[in-house]
Structures are given as C-alpha cells and as structure tokens.
C-alpha cells in the first residue's frame, strides 16, 4: 500500500512512517549533490545565509541530465547518498526534514536523523525515466556554474519512494530487506508495463484486438 504525502515535511506527517513503507511524494523539493553541499557548509562556516531555507524541506540527491525538447527534465535518477554523509548532520540540525537518494548512510547521519526526527527516502535506482515523469517543474535557484549539480527547485507529483530510515532510526538495509527493495522495483516496473500495454490496446480498433476484453 502506498501513502500519499505532500511537502513541506513535518514530524506530524512522517512520524508514523516505518522503514519499508512506500510513499508517493508531491510538492516542492530541492536538489543538491556533493559539490552544492560543500558550498552550503562553507557558507555555514562563515556564518552566512544559505540560498534556501531548508527548515522542513526535502533534498533530492540528483544531478539530472539536460531535458530533451518538450520535456521538463532529463534523466533524474538518484546519486549515491554516502557522498553527502559528511555534510548532512549540519543541515539536519538546521531543520532539513527529508533526504532522497540511494544506498546506505553512516552512523553519524542515522543518529542525526533520530535526533532531528527526520527521514531518509530511497528513490528507485534504475527507474530514472519513471522518476522524471513525476517532476512537473524544475528551475535552477543557486550555483548555476555547477551545471548538473546546481541547486534546483522542483515541483513533483507522486514521486515513488521507499522509506529507508524512519524517524526512529529503523533501517531497511539493516533489516535484511534488500530483497524487498528488488521486489518493489520489479512490481513498479511491471505495473508501468501493464499500463503501457493497456494504453496501446485501448487505442487499437476493437476488431483488431480481441484482447481488449480483459481491460473491462
């Protein structure tokens, strides 16, 4: 079962989510990879303001490819999250509530997630095209010189995610459920294929496709 949640995230919205839960996230999120994170921490070290207010916000670890004509954004699959581990606790202490990426986090990040009642969500690796479809708007708001690693503000609708580390520190990876992740990915991919076939069959003339009967 999937739970629909809108940003900005708050503790009230995420407190009942547990590692392994599937969610469909909608609203505003921000993108930032390691280069952007490094600059954010440098600003904090100098007691300067960040280019975004991260309180109750969500950061997606992604460096999207250029958009093709007619598309909002190009491929937008997740970046491996450990690259941000040395920076994340500082941002969590400032109110960052959600992180989206792939892969495990170190113990310092996990402890900070528990301390700040935040959440770490896993984007579906290998499903970059599906993720891109959930992004309805994207604009660079900081560090344009970083190219793909610039900070972007994104509007998303029903982005499919999995809770990896919940507010209590329950960790999907440590629960030995890697196989569960593979099952979920396979299920989502299968559902997308079925939807594609249904759209194709619906558009065929009835006399050319007796198989349309199973759509009813």
Closest Cα to residue 163, out of 154, 150, 155, 173?
A: 173
Please say whether the dihedral angle defined by the alpha carbons of residues 34, 39, 44 and 50, taken in this order, is positive or negative. negative
Only one residue has tokens 């109110």, namely 95
Mean pLDDT of the chain: 85
Q: What is the pLDDT of residue 210?
A: 41
Topology of domain 2-175 in CATH is fumarase (3.20.130)
Residue spans of the domains in the chain: they are 2-175, 177-216
Q: pLDDT of 175-191, one tens digit each?
A: 765 566 677 777 777 77
Q: Which of 37, 97, 102, 152 is catalytic?
A: 37
Active site residue 37: yes
DSSP-assigned beta bridge partners for residue 24: 4, 160
DSSP-assigned beta bridge partners for residue 89: none
* pLDDT higher at 2 or 23: 23
Q: How confident is the model at residue 216 (pLDDT cuts 50, 70, 90)?
A: very low
Q: pLDDT of 63-118, one tens digit each?
A: 777 777 777 887 777 889 999 999 999 999 999 999 999 999 999 999 999 999 99
What does residue 150 show for φ and ψ, rounded to 5 degrees? -60, 155
Average pLDDT over residues 149-166: 94
Distance CA 142, CA 95 (A): 19
Beta-strand pair 135-142/151-165: antiparallel
163 touches 21 (CB < 8 A) = yes
């Amino acid at each position: 079962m999937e739970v629909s949640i809108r940003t900005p995230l708050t503790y009230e919205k995420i407190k009942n989510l547990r590692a392994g839960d599937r969610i469909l996230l909608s609203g505003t999120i921000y993108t930032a990879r390691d280069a952007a994170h490094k600059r954010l921490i440098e600003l904090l070290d100098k007691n300067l303001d960040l280019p975004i207010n991260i309180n109750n916000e969500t950061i997606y670890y992604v460096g999207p490819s250029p958009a093709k004509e007619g598309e909002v954004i190009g491929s937008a699959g997740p970046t491996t999250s450990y690259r941000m581990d040395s920076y994340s606790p500082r941002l969590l202490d400032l109110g960052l509530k959600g992180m989206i990426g792939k892969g495990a986090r170190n113990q310092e990040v996990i402890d900070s997630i528990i301390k700040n009642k935040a959440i770490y969500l896993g984007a579906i690796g290998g499903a970059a095209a599906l993720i891109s479809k959930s992004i309805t708007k994207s604009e660079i708001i900081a560090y344009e010189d970083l190219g793909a690693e610039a900070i972007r503000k994104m509007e998303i609708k029903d982005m499919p995610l999995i809770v990896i580390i919940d507010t209590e520190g329950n960790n999907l990876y440590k629960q030995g459920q890697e196989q569960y992740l593979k099952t979920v990915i396979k299920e989502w991919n299968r559902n997308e294929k079925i939807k594609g076939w249904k759209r194709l069959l619906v558009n065929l003339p009835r006399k050319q496709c007796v198989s349309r009967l199973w759509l009813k």
